[in-house]
Amino acid sequence: MEIRIEKTAAPKAKPADETKLGFGHIFTDHMFVMNYDTGEGWHDARIVPYGEISLSPAAMCLHYGQEIFEGLKAYRTADGSIQMFRPDENFKRMNVSAERMVIPPIDEAFVLEALKKLVDMEKDWVPHTDGASLYIRPFIFATDPYVGVRPADHYLFMIILSPSGAYYSTGLNPVKIYVEEKYVRAVRGGTGFAKTAANYAISLKGQDEAHNQDYEQVLWLDGVEQKYIEEVGSMNIFFVIDGEVITPQLTGSVLPGITRKSSIELCKKWGMKVTERRITIQEVAEAYDNGKLDEVFGTGTAAVISPVGHLKWGDKVMTINDNKIGEISQKLYDTMTGIQYGKLPDEMNWIVRV
């Protein structure tokens, strides 16, 4: 499929102060768009000026939430080249999400080529500051003007780009996490493994209550017994207990993070003991009481590695590793960001150059 290119006549000024980029409010000059219509398949791939889209008020995505998305980044290396971290994994996962949400599959190789073309066009938007990057958001949603429940016949696939500041401006600050016991994020047979808007919509209430108690994030327990640890909203979670690296196994209600997968692969490569299994919050609390809970950290594209300093479960507040980043968390962070910014050799073959 050809990609039609329409360049903007009014390019925007690039942000002058990269320390003030923040996350998710600035968008570049162009976006990728492609339509799907039943009978025709995906068609009319184009890169056009970034701008508003027109949608029927009856568009199905607005009423029944048929939507999926992805999140990844492009990085500028010291020699000025632009590269991405495992983008093929994002499009592979997007098709897994699509299958669950009855959205037609995309051609993974084609959309990766389209993304490369878009990022190349927008390469001057990729920040220069260490730790800053160009956040990439591919997404698909149903557009049929129909207020009835069924899988749609018409979709839009879009990619928008947002220059984003360093997640950590003052070093890797440990986060405060709260174990959610009232609400659940995903249930057996549900959509936990899919990257879909609905999973976030239902997580907002727990997040809001955590914020009211001065906690930054929510640690979700399984939706059936509320005993087993699942993940942290937009991050997967790891525990280091007595030297062993443990992360909840992918049971269908946990999002299969690419940073999670990469962390497991690196720890294995380093000869560490890594286990994917079910783990209860009770077991973590007992390890803490016995002085065996060495480290807790979250993994996700935005933060890469996010050390957990405080973990609150009911009335119990666990302070992990003196509220300091642990050795394994630091090593994973340094290695992964080193590969992403081209400072370390890409021994795992994770980098795709633009």
Ligand X SMILES: *Cc1c(COP(=O)(O)O)cnc(C)c1O
Residues that bind ligand X (CB under 6 A): 71, 195, 199, 231, 234-236, 255, 257-260, 299-301
Beta bridge partners of 240: 245, 295
- What is d(CA 354, CA 286) in angstroms, rounded to the nearest whole number? 47
**Closest distance to ligand X from the beta carbon of 140 (Å):** 15
Are 122 and 137 in contact by the 8 Å Cβ rule? The answer is no
**Closest distance to ligand X from the beta carbon of 259 (Å):** 3
Write the DSSP string, 142-185: E--B--S-S--SEEEEEEEEEEE--S-SSS-PPEEEEE--S--S
For ligand X, the closer of residues 136 and 287 by Cβ is 136
For ligand X, the closer of residues 12 and 188 by Cβ is 188
For ligand X, the closer of residues 146 and 341 by Cβ is 341
For ligand X, the closer of residues 300 and 326 by Cβ is 300
- What is d(CA 120, CA 50) in angstroms, rounded to the nearest whole number? 15
For ligand X, the closer of residues 126 and 304 by Cβ is 304
Report residue 181: phi and psi, to 5°.
Answer: -110, -10
**Closest distance to ligand X from the beta carbon of 96 (Å):** 12
**Closest distance to ligand X from the beta carbon of 90 (Å):** 7
- What is d(CA 83, CA 60) in angstroms, rounded to the nearest whole number? 35
For ligand X, the closer of residues 59 and 84 by Cβ is 84
- What is d(CA 1, CA 344) in angstroms, rounded to the nearest whole number? 36
**Closest distance to ligand X from the beta carbon of 31 (Å):** 20
Cα distances from 46 to residues 64, 121, 196, in angstroms, run 27, 13, 24
**Closest distance to ligand X from the beta carbon of 255 (Å):** 4
Cα distances from 274 to residues 194, 216, 240, 332, in angstroms, run 24, 27, 9, 13
